[in-house]
């Protein structure tokens, strides 16, 4: 990996490390994942404020994927804006990519938005790709995305797709940084 990209990705991880260290903590899932391991987050810590950790880990995942594609893909474009909304996080060539740490919400508004955005992106000539880091997603939400023309990739499939379009093995990068940005 190019040293400048390595530095930029390390900066993202350091910023989140500091944010997590300074966090004051105000359902059960005992599984960790590759991004939690970077910060040495336990499932117990994450359960203390599930919404916070899900949101922050999701933004970290989005920034990592975006930075990799921005740095390595000549056909990269930032988030598409349509009437004040962003139906995807980034564009690489014909792919309109949205990133999610996990999809756990099955509320009708969320599912409707997934369907609308996927259909909108398709009519604009893009292939909507949803890159989800975790595998433990709500099946109804995944089905709603698929019915809205999203190609849904989870876990290793997401890592493989990133490697395919960028040449960067994000899984190896994250694994090599396990425990280097501890917040506990």
**Is 184 part of any domain?**
no
How does pLDDT run across 139-181, given as a tens digit for each residue?
888 888 999 999 999 999 999 999 999 999 999 999 999 999 9
How does pLDDT run across 77-117, given as a tens digit for each residue?
999 998 888 999 999 999 999 999 998 776 777 788 888 99
**Is 138 part of any domain?**
yes
**Is 117 part of any domain?**
yes
CATH assignment of the domain containing 146: 3.40.1350
**Is 183 part of any domain?**
no
What is the number of structural domains in the chain?
Answer: 1
How does pLDDT run across 24-38, given as a tens digit for each residue?
444 445 678 999 999
What pLDDT was estimated at residue 163? Answer: 98
**Is 29 part of any domain?**
yes
Count the residues in the chain. 184
Query: 92: which DSSP letter?
Result: E
CB burial of 89-127 (b: ≥16 within 10 Å; e: otherwise) equals bbbbeebbbbbbbbbbeeeeeebeebbebbbbbeeeebe
**Is 54 part of any domain?**
yes
Interatomic CA distance for residues 115 and 128, integer angstroms: 11
**Is 41 part of any domain?**
yes
Q: Which token pair is 142?
A: 């995944």
* Domain containing residue 59: 3-176
Place of tokens 């960028």: 166
Instruction: Yes or no: say if 18 and 182 are a contact pair by the CB < 8 Å rule.
Output: no
**Is 182 part of any domain?**
no
What pLDDT was estimated at residue 26? Answer: 42
């Amino acid at each position: 990996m190019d040293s400048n990209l390595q530095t930029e990705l390390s900066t993202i991880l350091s910023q989140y490390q500091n944010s997590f260290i300074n966090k004051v903590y105000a359902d059960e899932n005992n599984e960790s994942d590759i991004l939690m391991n970077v910060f040495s987050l336990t499932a117990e810590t994450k359960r203390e404020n599930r919404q916070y950790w899900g949101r922050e880990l999701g933004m970290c995942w989005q920034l990592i994927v975006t930075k990799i594609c921005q740095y390595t893909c000549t056909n990269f474009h930032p988030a598409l804006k349509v009437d004040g909304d962003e139906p995807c996080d980034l564009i690489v060539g014909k792919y309109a990519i949205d990133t999610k740490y996990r999809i756990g919400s099955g509320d009708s508004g969320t599912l409707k938005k997934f369907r609308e955005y996927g259909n909108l992106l398709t009519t604009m000539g893009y292939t909507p790709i949803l890159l989800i880091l975790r595998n433990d997603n709500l099946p109804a939400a995944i089905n709603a995305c698929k019915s809205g023309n999203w190609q849904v990739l989870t876990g290793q499939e997401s890592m493989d797709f990133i490697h395919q379009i960028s040449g960067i093995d994000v899984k190896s990068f994250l694994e090599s940084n396990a425990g280097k940005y501890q917040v506990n």
